[in-house]
């Protein structure tokens, strides 16, 4: 009997290896040094991982017989994930102590969670994707409850229980897909569907629907979105910031990989359209009634999941660049918005929107920055959100989904109300003086300034990013 060595390409494992080594080092050093040093180690590891992505550009490497795939598209997903995680950890340097999270375990769990998000981005089969999804989810459940307050424990418990149900649905879906096609690999599943050599169509369809339902929970799409407002509002703000940008990007990386790489020929388009329409309408309508900024941003996240999901329907050559551009702009706008909220709030309950009246006269830079982020999320020029919605809606329209494009445009116009309300209130004279903590938050300020600069530059010079996708290798990877 011949011993067959596994197909291991260590170069392809470089980003995951760097972040895992950083997490293990942080685990060991956490016994001997302060939380701040562990956080700085984590940021250094993430920057090195981000640098490794440039080295791997255009190489299109695989490992473990295709179970790990590093295409340029997956590298861009990983890059957006790492930008979001660096901004989140930078913000946490100022606020972990105020949120009762000033211990190394917070940063260590964060690093393990990031390793899971990278596994999702680089996954080439359903098993690797599931492992990454579970590592990310378990880390996020713990982060949500780590504060040991009743409010965060309730949020974390709700997230854990509903997330466990979603994971079970995903696993059932994976099992049925394997039963129908005999493979976990994205490429093999796609070939089985294209050549009509799968075993059972009912198994394939049921598996596809279960995967769609499971991912709909992970990316907060209706009607599986109910956890989002309570978990966003109940979790510490720095954890909510991480969930809203890093977890969302990773979950969309998994969703796109599974449905466009593995199941492009399965009949999931109609249920996907129903889910996306419900998400855009439900998320925006519910956001209109919110009085607290964190809950409003939670419903905003649901609505944006609906917009981002249009990339699933569109032609991949148009939809995936639009999705990545939207995720990048959304990451900077949301990271900045939550950093401003963290600086302004008295505790992790957030801020009531009426209490933001007159903020410009007390904290002008905070007010201007938050207004820029809200206007970008609303899709108002000249900020990144305008270009992001333009290319995303344009991709759906050019691919023939006219009704979905109309729903997206109409709900975006409705969203102007809840984005503009706090933006306008901040510049109106205050009826009564509000007490605000007057202390410097240098790292959060850095996060906000970087996010403002990126939000404006991406809006004014969008071709800097969109031209990345003119590369023939990238175009090939998107097919």
pLDDT tens, position by position, 331-348: 999 999 999 999 998 888
What are the structure tokens assigned to 110, written together?
Answer: 């964060």
Higher local confidence (pLDDT), 148 or 285: 285
What are the structure tokens assigned to 448, written together?
Answer: 């906000």
| % pLDDT > 90, the chain | 75
Alpha helices in 314-401 (DSSP H): 316-344, 359-362, 364-378, 384-398
- Given a contact cutoff of 8 angstroms between Cβ atoms, the answer to whether 467 and 76 are in contact is no
Q: What is the mean pLDDT of the chain?
A: 91
Q: How confident is the model at residue 471 (pLDDT cuts 50, 70, 90)?
A: low
What is the Cα–Cα distance from 58 to 61, expressed in whole angstroms? 9
Would you say the C-alpha torsion 215, 326, 246, 153 has a positive or negative sign?
negative
| Cα of 4 vs its chain's centroid, Å | 39
What is the average per-residue pLDDT within 157-180? 93
Q: What is the pLDDT of residues 386-401, one digit of tens each?
A: 999 999 999 999 999 9
Q: What number of other Cβ atoms are within 10 A of residue 298's Cβ?
A: 26
**What is the pLDDT, as a whole number, of residue 171?**
95
Verdict on whether the full-model pTM lies above 0.85 = yes
Please report the DSSP string for 118-136 in residue order: HHHHTB-BHHHHHHHHHHH
Torsion over CA of 355, 360, 365 and 368, rounded to 10 degrees?
90
Region label for 100, one of left (φ > 0), alpha (ψ between -120 and 50) or beta (otherwise): left
Res 478 pLDDT > 80 = no
β-strand partners of 185: 125
Res 234 pLDDT > 70 = yes
Res 465 pLDDT > 90 = no
What is the average per-residue pLDDT within 151-167? 90
Q: How confident is the model at residue 467 (pLDDT cuts 50, 70, 90)?
A: confident
**What is the pLDDT, as a whole number, of residue 197?**
81
**What is the pLDDT, as a whole number, of residue 210?**
94
**What is the pLDDT, as a whole number, of residue 474?**
63
Higher local confidence (pLDDT), 3 or 42: 42
What is the Cα–Cα distance from 318 to 399, expressed in whole angstroms? 8
Residue 461 burial (CB < 10 Å; 0-12/13-18/19+)? Answer: exposed
What are the structure tokens assigned to 42, written together?
Answer: 């984590």
Res 463 pLDDT > 90 = no
**What is the pLDDT, as a whole number, of residue 472?**
66
Res 167 pLDDT > 80 = yes
**What is the pLDDT, as a whole number, of residue 376?**
96
Backbone angles phi, psi at 440, to 5 degrees: -75, 145
**What is the pLDDT, as a whole number, of residue 88?**
95
**What is the pLDDT, as a whole number, of residue 266?**
73
Res 227 pLDDT > 70 = yes
**What is the pLDDT, as a whole number, of residue 436?**
66
Q: How confident is the model at residue 212 (pLDDT cuts 50, 70, 90)?
A: very high
Least confident among 134-143, 313-322, 433-442: 433-442
What are the structure tokens assigned to 180, written together?
Answer: 């129908």
| Cα of 364 vs its chain's centroid, Å | 29
From the CA atom positions of the chain, what is the Rg in Å? Answer: 21
- Given a contact cutoff of 8 angstroms between Cβ atoms, the answer to whether 167 and 215 are in contact is no
What is the Cα–Cα distance from 57 to 399, expressed in whole angstroms? 29
What is the Cα–Cα distance from 371 to 359, expressed in whole angstroms? 11
Higher local confidence (pLDDT), 380 or 440: 380
Query: What is the maximal distance between C-alpha atoms in the chain?
Result: 83
Res 360 pLDDT > 70 = yes
**What is the pLDDT, as a whole number, of residue 476?**
65
What are the structure tokens assigned to 284, written together?
Answer: 């925006």
Please report the DSSP string for 221-284 in residue order: -TTS-THHHHHHHHS-HHHHHHIIIIIHHHHHHHHHIIIIII-TTSS-HHHHHHHHHHHHHHHH
What is the Cα–Cα distance from 322 to 231, expressed in whole angstroms? 28
**What is the pLDDT, as a whole number, of residue 102?**
87
Of the candidates 340, 354, 306, the one whose C-alpha atom is nearest the C-alpha of residue 326 is 306
What is the average per-residue pLDDT within 361-367? 92
Res 437 pLDDT > 90 = no
- Given a contact cutoff of 8 angstroms between Cβ atoms, the answer to whether 30 and 38 are in contact is yes
**What is the pLDDT, as a whole number, of residue 20?**
96
Q: What is the pLDDT of residues 258-300, one digit of tens each?
A: 999 899 877 889 999 999 999 999 999 999 999 999 999 999 9
What is the Cα–Cα distance from 274 to 302, expressed in whole angstroms? 15
What is the Cα–Cα distance from 78 to 179, expressed in whole angstroms? 31
Would you say the C-alpha torsion 370, 371, 375, 381 has a positive or negative sign?
negative
β-strand partners of 62: 69
Question: Which residue in this structure is represented by tokens 């300020």?
Answer: 445
């Amino acid at each position: 009997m011949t011993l067959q060595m596994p197909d291991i390409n260590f170069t392809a494992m470089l980003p995951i290896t760097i972040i895992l080594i950083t997490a293990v080092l942080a685990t060991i050093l956490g016994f001997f040094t302060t939380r701040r040093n562990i956080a700085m180690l984590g940021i250094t590891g993430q920057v090195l991982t981000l640098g490794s992505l440039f080295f791997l550009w255009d190489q299109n490497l695989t490992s473990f017989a295709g179970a790990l795939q590093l295409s340029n598209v997956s590298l861009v997903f990983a890059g957006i994930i790492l930008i979001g995680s660096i901004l989140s950890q930078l913000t946490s340097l100022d606020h972990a102590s105020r949120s009762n999270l000033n211990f190394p375990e917070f940063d260590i769990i964060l690093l393990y969670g990031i390793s899971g998000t990278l596994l999702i981005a680089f996954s080439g089969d359903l098993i690797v994707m599931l492992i990454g999804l579970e590592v990310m989810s378990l880390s996020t459940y713990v982060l949500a409850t780590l504060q040991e307050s009743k409010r965060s424990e309730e949020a974390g418990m709700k997230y854990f229980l509903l997330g466990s149900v979603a994971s079970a649905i995903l696993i059932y879906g994976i099992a049925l897909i394997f039963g129908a096609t005999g493979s976990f690999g994205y490429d093999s599943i796609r070939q089985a569907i294209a050549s009509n050599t799968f075993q059972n169509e009912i198994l394939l369809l049921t598996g596809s629907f279960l995967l769609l339902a499971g991912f709909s929970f992970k990316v907060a799409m209706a009607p599986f979105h109910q956890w989002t407002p309570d978990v966003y509002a109940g979790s510490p703000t720095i954890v909510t910031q991480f969930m809203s940008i890093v977890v969302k990007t990773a979950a969309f990386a998994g969703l796109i990989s599974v449905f466009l790489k593995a199941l492009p020929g399965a009949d999931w388009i109609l249920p996907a359209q129903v889910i996306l329409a419900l998400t855009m309408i439900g998320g925006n309508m519910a956001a209109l009634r919110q009085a607290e900024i964190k809950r409003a941003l939670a419903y905003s996240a649901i609505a944006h999941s609906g917009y981002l999901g249009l990339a699933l329907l569109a032609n991949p050559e148009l939809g995936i660049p639009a999705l990545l551009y939207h995720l990048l702009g959304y990451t900077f706008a949301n990271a900045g918005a939550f950093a401003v909220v963290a600086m302004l709030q008295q505790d992790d309950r957030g801020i009531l929107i009426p209490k933001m009246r007159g903020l410009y006269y007390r904290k002008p830079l905070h007010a201007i920055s938050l207004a820029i982020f809200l206007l970008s999320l609303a899709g108002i020029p000249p900020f990144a959100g305008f270009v992001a919605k333009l290319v995303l809606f344009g991709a759906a329209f050019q691919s023939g989904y006219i009704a979905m494009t109309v729903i997206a445009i109409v709900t975006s116009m409705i969203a102007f109300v809840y984005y503009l309300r706090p933006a306008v209130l901040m510049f109106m004279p205050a009826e009564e003086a509000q007490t605000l903590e007057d202390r410097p938050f240098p790292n959060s300020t850095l996060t906000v300034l970087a996010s403002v600069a990126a939000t404006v530059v991406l809006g004014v010079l969008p071709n800097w990013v969109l031209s990345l996708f003119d590369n023939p290798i990238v175009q090939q990877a998107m097919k």
